[in-house]
C-alpha cells in the first residue's frame, strides 16, 4: 500500500532519488538497489531510478541484470551520457569489450568533456589492440582535464628524464586538488621509476580508494607490492582488477607472474593457462609461461612456450634472450638470421630499445656457441653500451658506502655486541657476485635433508637500511647501529626470520642466495650471530665476464661497463677482506674452480661450516627437484663439468681494459691463473 499523500515527502521522487544516490555513495549497494526498486513500483519508467538500480546491481556483480536495466535507460533517454558510461562498465565486466567501446563512444558523443569516459575508452581500445585510436582518445582525455597543461608538461619532463621537475608539477596539482586520481597514479608511477616502491604503493592505494573501479591503478598497486615481495597483497590487488575486468589477459598474466615470483609454480601455470585460453597469442603470457616452466625444470615445454611467443611477436627481443638465457639452448642458422633481421628493424625504432638490447645479448650468446668469440664480444659490448645508458650506477657512491660499513663494523664494534641479537642458527647466506657459482652452492646445500633452498631474498639489506629511516636527527644506517640496544638487535633478527617464513616449509636451515648481501654480513652477524655465510667466488675475470654477458631482468646495474665491473669487484674484495679480518671464520670462501676440481672435498667443507652432518645426496645435487629462478637454473640440473672454468681466456684479447683495471686483484692470484700480460716477474 502506498503511504503518504501526493504532496508528502514520501511521494516526492526527487527526495527518494537523492536518498538512493546517498546510499550508493555510501557503498550500501543492496540498500540502494532496494530503494530504487521500491521507487520504480510507483514510477516504473523513471530513468534516474533505473540507472541507480543498474549501478547498484553492477556493484554487486550482477552484471547481466545491470546491463538489462541500463540498456532500458538509454532507450528511454538516448542522449543520457552517464547511463552509457554505466552501461559500458557492466558490459566490460562481462568481457563484452566491443560493446563497452561502443557505449563509451556514444557517451562521449553526448558529453565530449567526460574525462572518465575518455580514459576508460582509451584503456579498452588498448586492450582490443587499437593502440593508435587509444593514443588519440588519451590525448583528448588530457585535453578535457582542467589540469591538462600541467599533466602534459609533467609527462614531457618524464620523457626527457627530468624526474624532479615532473614530480614538482604533480605535487603542485595535488596541493590544490589532493583527490586528482590520475595525478595520484602518475605520482605512483614516478615513485616506481625511482625504485621507491613503498611510496608508489601509497599513491596507488589512495587512487583506488577514491576510484575503486580504476583498473589501471589496481594493476599498478599489484606491481608495486610485487616489487616489495608482498606477493599475497599483490595477488589481492590483481584479483580486484580481475573483478573489474573478468577474463582480462593482462590481469591473468600478472597473477601468473606474481605466483611465479612467490614460488607457487602450479598456481602460476594455472593463471597463465587461463590467460592463454582467452588469447592463445598473448605474447607476455607466453613469455612468463616459458619462465615458469624453465624454473620448474620443464625445459622442452619452456622452449615451446618461448617459440610460440616469438611467433606471436617476432620483434620481441626479450623472448630470444630468454632462450639464450637457458644457457643450454643453441640457436640454429634460421634463428640467427631472424634475430639479425629483427635487430635491423627495432634498431630504427626508439620505442624498441629494450628489444634491441635483448637481441644484441642473444646474438652474443649465439656467436659464442659458434666459438666466434670476437663477434660474440662485439654484440655483448654493443648491448652493454646501450644498456648502460638506461641504468643508474655511481661507483663513487658505492665506494663511499663501503667506507662507512668498514668504519662502523670494526672489531671493537663486534666485541662490544658479543652475545647479543637473535640466537637462531637457521639462516645460511650465500653471497658473492652474480655468475660466480652461488646457484651451484645453493643447489648443493638444498640437496641436504635439513636445508630449505629458498630464493634471492631481498629482506636483509632492506631491514638493515630501514633501521634509521624514521630518525629525526639525520643519523642513518649503518651509523645508527652504534645506538641500538640488545632487545632491538634481537627484534631485527626476528623480523628477518619472520620475513622469510613464506618461502620456507619448516626445515631447520634455509639458504638466502642474494649475491649482493655481501655488504650486509656485518648487520647479519650483529642481529643473527649464529647465521652462516658462504662466499661463492670465481676467477675475477670469469666473474666479471659472466656479469658482462648477462642481461639481468633488474638490478646488477654495475655489470654494463668494464670500469664499473672492475671497480665493483675491487670493492667486493675489499669488503670481504674486511669481514675476514674483523670476523675471522664467519665466512667460508668457496672457489668455483675448486668445486669443479674436487666436488666432494668442497661440499664436505661447506657442510661442516654450516654445522650439517654429511649426506651423500649433496653430491647428486642435480637430482634435487626444486624451483630455480636464476640464469643458472638449467646448468645446476646437470652434473659438474669443467667447461665454465677459465672462459675468460677465450676473450683475453678483448678484456685488456678489464685486466688493466683489475691488475691489483689479479696479481694476488698464482702466476698461472693470471693473464699473459701479468705473468712476467
Asked if the model's pLDDT at residue 545 lies above 70, the reply is yes
Cα distance between residue 489 and residue 526, in whole Å: 7
Helix (H) or strand (E) holding 452: strand 451-453
The two most distant CA atoms of the chain are separated, in Å, by 112
Q: Which long-range contacts (CB under 8 A, 24 or more apart) does 42-47 make?
A: 42/2, 42/11, 42/13, 43/13, 45/76, 46/13, 47/73, 47/76, 47/77, 47/80, 47/83
What one-character-per-residue DSSP string does 520-551 give?
GHHHHHHH-TT-EEEEEE--HHHHHHHHHT--
Cα distance between residue 457 and residue 502, in whole Å: 11
Q: What is the pLDDT of residues 228-243, one digit of tens each?
A: 888 999 999 999 999 8
Residue 431 bridge partners (DSSP): 535
C-alpha distances (whole Å) from 371 to each of 187, 368, 460 are: 48, 5, 41
- Three-state DSSP class for residue 295: helix
Cα distance between residue 56 and residue 44, in whole Å: 17
Q: What is the pLDDT of residues 459-468, one digit of tens each?
A: 999 999 999 7
For residue 111, which phi and psi values (nearest 5 degrees)?
-145, 80
Domains along the chain with CATH numbers: 9-144 (1.25.40.10), 419-645 (3.40.50.300)
pLDDT tier for residue 9 given thresholds of 50, 70 and 90: very low
**Residues 592-612, buried b or exposed e (16+ Cβ, 10 A)?**
bbebbeebeebbeebbebbeb
Nearest to 494 by CA among 423, 429, 418, 428: 423
What one-character-per-residue DSSP string does 227-294 give?
HTT-HHHHHHHHHHHHHHSTT-HHHHHHHHHHHHHTT-HHHHHHHHHHHHHH-TT-HHHHHHHHHHHH
Residue 427 bridge partners (DSSP): 510
User: Which of 375 and 154 is assigned the larger pLDDT?
Assistant: 375
Q: What is the pLDDT of residues 248-306, one digit of tens each?
A: 899 999 999 999 988 888 999 999 999 999 899 999 999 999 999 988 888 899 999 99
Length reported for the chain: 681
Least confident of 55-69, 78-92, 151-165, 186-200: 151-165
pTM of the model: 0.74
Segment 455-461 shows an average pLDDT of 88
User: Which of 411 and 13 is assigned the larger pLDDT?
Assistant: 411
Q: Is 353 exposed, middle or buried (0-12, 13-18, 19+ CB in 10 A)?
A: middle
- Three-state DSSP class for residue 430: strand
Q: Which long-range contacts (CB under 8 A, 24 or more apart) does 384-393 make?
A: 384/548, 384/559, 384/560, 384/561, 385/560, 386/353, 386/356, 386/357, 386/360, 387/357, 387/551, 387/560, 388/560, 388/561, 388/564, 390/353, 390/357, 391/557, 391/560, 392/557, 393/557, 393/558, 393/561, 393/564
The answer to whether the beta carbons of residues 433 and 479 sit under 8 Å apart is no
Nearest to 338 by CA among 301, 363, 367: 363
State the cell numbers at 338. 631472424
Segment 334-342 shows an average pLDDT of 96
Give CA 237 to chain center in angstroms.
15
Cα distance between residue 532 and residue 510, in whole Å: 10
Asked if the model's pLDDT at residue 138 lies above 60, the reply is yes
The answer to whether the beta carbons of residues 344 and 363 sit under 8 Å apart is no
Q: What is the pLDDT of residues 502-537, one digit of tens each?
A: 888 899 999 999 999 999 999 999 999 999 999 999
Helical residues (DSSP H) of 10-77, grouped into ranges:
13-25, 29-42, 47-59, 63-76
Least confident of 116-120, 286-290, 317-321, 442-446: 116-120
Amino acid at each position: 500500500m502506498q503511504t503518504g499523500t501526493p504532496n508528502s515527502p514520501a511521494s516526492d521522487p526527487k527526495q527518494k532519488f537523492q536518498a538512493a544516490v546517498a546510499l550508493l555513495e555510501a557503498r550500501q549497494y543492496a540498500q540502494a538497489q532496494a530503494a530504487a526498486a521500491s521507487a520504480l513500483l510507483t514510477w516504473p519508467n523513471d530513468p534516474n531510478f533505473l540507472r541507480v538500480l543498474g549501478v547498484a546491481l553492477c556493484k554487486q556483480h550482477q552484471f547481466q541484470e545491470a546491463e538489462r536495466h541500463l540498456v532500458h535507460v538509454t532507450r528511454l533517454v538516448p542522449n543520457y551520457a552517464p547511463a552509457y558510461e554505466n552501461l559500458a562498465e557492466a558490459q566490460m565486466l562481462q568481457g563484452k569489450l566491443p560493446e563497452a567501446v561502443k557505449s563509451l563512444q556514444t557517451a562521449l558523443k553526448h558529453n565530449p568533456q567526460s574525462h572518465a569516459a575518455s580514459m576508460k575508452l582509451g584503456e579498452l581500445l588498448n586492450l582490443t589492440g587499437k593502440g593508435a585510436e587509444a593514443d588519440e582518445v588519451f590525448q583528448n582525455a588530457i585535453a578535457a582535464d582542467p589540469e591538462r597543461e600541467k599533466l602534459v608538461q609533467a609527462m614531457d619532463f618524464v620523457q626527457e628524464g627530468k624526474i624532479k621537475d615532473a614530480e614538482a608539477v604533480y605535487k603542485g596539482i595535488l596541493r590544490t586538488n589532493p583527490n586528482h586520481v590520475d595525478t595520484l597514479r602518475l605520482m605512483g608511477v614516478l615513485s616506481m621509476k625511482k625504485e621507491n616502491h613503498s611510496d608508489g604503493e601509497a599513491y596507488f592505494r589512495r587512487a583506488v580508494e577514491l576510484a575503486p573501479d580504476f583498473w589501471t591503478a589496481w594493476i599498478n598497486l599489484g606491481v608495486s607490492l610485487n616489487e616489495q615481495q608482498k606477493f599475497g597483497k599483490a595477488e589481492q590487488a590483481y584479483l580486484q582488477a580481475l573483478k573489474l575486468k573478468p577474463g582480462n589477459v593482462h590481469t591473468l598474466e600478472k597473477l601468473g607472474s606474481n605466483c611465479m615470483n612467490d614460488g607457487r609454480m602450479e598456481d602460476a601455470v594455472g593463471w597463465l593457462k587461463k590467460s592463454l585460453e582467452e588469447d592463445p597469442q598473448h605474447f607476455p603470457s607466453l613469455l612468463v609461461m616459458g619462465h615458469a616452466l624453465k624454473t620448474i625444470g620443464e625445459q622442452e615445454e619452456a622452449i615451446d612456450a618461448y617459440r610460440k611467443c616469438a611467433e606471436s611477436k617476432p620483434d620481441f627481443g626479450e623472448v630470444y634472450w630468454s632462450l639464450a638465457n637457458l644457457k643450454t639452448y643453441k640457436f640454429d642458422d634460421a634463428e640467427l638470421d631472424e634475430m639479425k633481421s629483427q635487430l635491423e628493424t627495432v634498431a630504427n625504432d626508439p620505442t624498441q630499445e629494450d628489444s634491441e638490447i635483448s637481441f644484441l645479448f642473444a646474438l652474443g650468446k649465439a656467436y659464442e656457441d659458434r666459438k666466434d668469440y670476437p663477434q660474440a664480444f662485439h654484440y655483448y659490448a654493443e648491448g652493454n653500451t646501450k644498456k648502460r645508458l638506461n641504468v643508474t650506477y655511481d661507483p663513487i657512491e658505492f665506494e663511499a658506502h663501503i667506507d662507512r660499513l668498514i668504519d662502523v663494523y670494526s672489531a671493537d664494534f663486534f666485541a662490544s655486541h658479543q652475545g647479543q641479537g637473535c640466537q637462531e642458527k637457521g639462516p645460511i647466506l650465500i653471497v658473492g657476485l652474480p655468475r660466480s657459482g652461488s646457484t651451484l652452492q645453493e643447489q648443493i646445500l638444498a640437496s641436504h635433508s635439513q636445508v630449505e633452498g629458498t630464493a634471492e631474498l631481498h629482506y636483509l639489506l632492506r631491514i638493515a637500511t630501514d633501521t634509521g629511516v624514521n630518525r629525526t636527527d639525520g643519523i642513518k644506517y649503518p651509523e645508527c647501529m652504534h645506538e641500538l640496544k640488545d632487545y632491538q638487535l634481537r627484534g631485527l633478527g626476528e623480523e628477518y626470520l619472520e620475513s622469510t617464513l613464506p618461502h620456507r616449509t619448516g626445515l631447520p636451515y634455509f639458504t638466502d642466495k642474494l649475491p649482493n648481501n655481501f655488504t650486509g654480513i656485518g648487520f647479519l652477524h650483529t642481529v643473527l650471530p649464529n647465521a652462516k655465510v658462504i662466499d661463492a667466488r670465481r676467477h675475477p675475470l670469469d666473474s666479471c665476464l659472466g656479469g658482462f654477458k648477462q642481461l639481468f631482468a633488474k638490478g646488477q646495474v654495475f655489470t654494463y661497463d668494464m670500469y664499473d665491473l672492475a671497480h665493483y669487484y675491487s670493492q667486493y674484495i675489499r669488503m670481504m677482506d674486511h669481514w675476514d679480518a674483523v670476523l675471522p671464520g664467519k665466512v667460508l670462501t668457496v672457489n668455483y674452480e675448486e668445486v669443479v676440481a674436487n666436488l666432494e672435498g668442497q661440499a664436505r667443507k661447506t657442510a661442516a661450516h654450516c654445522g650439517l652432518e654429511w649426506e651423500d645426496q649433496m653430491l647428486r645435487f642435480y637430482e634435487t627437484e626444486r624451483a630455480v629462478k636464476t640464469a643458472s637454473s638449467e646448468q645446476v640440473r646437470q652434473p659438474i663439468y669443467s667447461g665454465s672454468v677459465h672462459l675468460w681466456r677465450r676473450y683475453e684479447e678483448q678484456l685488456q681494459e678489464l685486466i688493466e683495471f683489475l691488475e691489483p686483484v689479479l696479481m694476488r692470484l698464482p702466476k698461472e691463473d693470471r693473464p699473459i700480460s701479468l705473468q712476467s716477474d
